[in-house]
Amino acid sequence: MSPFLKQKDIICFSILAVTIIAIPLFLESKYHFIVLNVIGLNTIVVVGLNLLIGFAGQISLGHAAFYGLGSYFSGILTVNYGFPLWPAMLLGMLATGIVAYLIGYPSLKLRGHYLVMATLGFGIIIHILMGELEHFTGGHDGLMGIPPLAIGRFIFDNDMNNFYLIWSFVLVSMVTARNLLNSRVGRALRAIHGSEIAANSLGVNAADYKVKVFVLSAMFASVSGSLYAHYITFISPSSYDFYYSIQVVTMVIVGGMGSLWGSLFGAGVLTLISEALHIAKQYHIIAYGIFLCVVLIFLPDGILVGTYNFFQRRRTQKFIVKKDKHKSS
């Protein structure tokens, strides 16, 4: 494997790989596969976004646009122009990367809330274009009949084989991200997060790295979008609105900013909760809001890291209390 993966990483990724292979043996319901596939698709976006938010410290509220660009490039190229499937996906990824570069290069010079606004505005523009460029996108009615992906004669046309396909991509994206983070680039990103000026003065070209990681995270989202389009075979603008952008950033925060495994966890927990809350029907929005508030108020480092820290603190507190009692007695 790569020189940048530590032994611990290799063990963790192996466990994930085995779990992925084993899970379908215990699942029967089509619904469970669908939920797991959605988790996988979200995880790919969240892993990319976490590189940007958690490691480079930049916020994007426009990632639904990149996810959507991937879907629409794949959909339009294959349905309208009869492109072969995998090249369309690759082309979509590259095109999304170029769009991300064009928007990211000027945007990432912006600071704080200005960056939030720029990415938000970009997301809204792309969302409107998806609905209005009817000639290409099928408008608000969406684009139908997107062919499923295939390798040779093998077609990914049901929930179970899509599960293997999507989760292989999850694994690849996580290994890529870990690899990147353990390398010089990862150290540079963390330095930028710590202090951009300090990083600059140590010879890290912060502006350059920020744009690159933005482009990379957009490409992750694009790939996930393409997979979604080929899996569901139907896309419409409503899947790529402002709420999706917010949802994926929420997953990054709830999983833990700057935690790779947290991305998987955050995408998993929030997708599951969102699914579970459908039982609550009209109370869905309220319940989701309350959940988000509780996590952000009490576990701002994310559920994984936050819970760990909480118990760690409890333990040290008990220890201190014991010692104090000991003294006073």
Partner 1 sequence: MIAHMEFSQQIAQYIVTGLTLGAIYAIVALGFNIIHNATGIVNFAQCEFISLGGMFMYSLVVIFKIKLIISFLISMSMVALIGMVIEIGPIRHARSKEIIVLIFLTIGLSGVLRGTAQEIWGTDNVGVPSFSGDNPIHLPGGATIVPQHIWVFAITVLVVLVLHYFFKKTLMGKAMRATAVNRRAAALAGISVNRMIFLSFAFSGALGAVAGMIIAPISTTSYDTGIMLGLKGFAAAILGGYGNFAGAILGGIILGILESLGAGLISSQYKDAIAFFVLLLVLFLKPTGIMGYGEAERV
Q: Which residues bind partner 1 (CB under 8 A)?
A: 53, 59, 106-107, 109-114, 116-118, 120-122, 124-125, 128-129, 131-132, 195, 197, 242, 246, 249-250, 253, 257, 282-293, 296-301
Between 66 and 163, name the residue whose CB sits nearer to partner 1: 66
Between 157 and 301, name the residue whose CB sits nearer to partner 1: 301
- Minimum Å distance from CB 286 to partner 1? 3
- Minimum Å distance from CB 199 to partner 1? 12
Between 11 and 285, name the residue whose CB sits nearer to partner 1: 285
- Minimum Å distance from CB 70 to partner 1? 20
Between 117 and 180, name the residue whose CB sits nearer to partner 1: 117
Between 122 and 167, name the residue whose CB sits nearer to partner 1: 122
Between 118 and 216, name the residue whose CB sits nearer to partner 1: 118
- Minimum Å distance from CB 64 to partner 1? 14
- Minimum Å distance from CB 127 to partner 1? 9
Q: Cα separation of 164 and 33, whole Å? A: 10
- Minimum Å distance from CB 33 to partner 1? 28
- Minimum Å distance from CB 289 to partner 1? 3
Between 5 and 59, name the residue whose CB sits nearer to partner 1: 59
